[in-house]
Amino acid sequence: MNCRMVVGDKKVKKVEMSDCTTKYGFRLVTTGYIPEEKTNDLSLLLATLLEKDSLSTDEEIQKFKKCCRKEGLIVCEKTFLNYEIKSELNSEETEQKEIASVTTYFHIHRTPKRWFNER
């Protein structure tokens, strides 16, 4: 699994996780307000997607968004299907084979209630 984080001003600004199976690759990119516990939830989401090994990711993503909504976070997401090289998705892979990949971009906002509670 590849995991990259951009950190600044005492908070995480961007998280990118990617991994692949023998048939498909998955990349999750998250920006906006990212609490530390959400990075754990993202890694669990990626593990679930790898276990299911299907290009249909709607059910898992909807569960993730619903969980975030319960915690006072609004999640906007866009999903794209493309082809990527296996070694770009997983640093342990050495194959230069192209596989189908699902890239999902999340942008997370706080609800006004959560924003005022944190201040």
- CA separation for the pair 10, 51 (Å, rounded): 33
- CA separation for the pair 15, 7 (Å, rounded): 9
Note the pLDDT of residue 59. 92
| pTM exceeds cut of 0.85 | yes
- CA separation for the pair 19, 47 (Å, rounded): 9
- CA separation for the pair 103, 95 (Å, rounded): 20
> Please, which residues have CB within 8 angstroms of residue 60's CB and are 6 or more apart in sequence?
45, 48, 49, 52
Q: What is the pLDDT along the chain (119 residues), one digit of tens a residue?
A: 888 888 887 788 899 999 998 889 999 999 998 988 888 999 999 999 999 989 888 999 999 999 999 999 999 999 999 999 888 888 787 878 899 999 999 999 998 888 888 77
* Contact by Cβ (8 Å): 78, 106: no
- CA separation for the pair 5, 87 (Å, rounded): 19
Note the pLDDT of residue 48. 93
In the chain, count of helices (H) and strands (E)?
4, 5
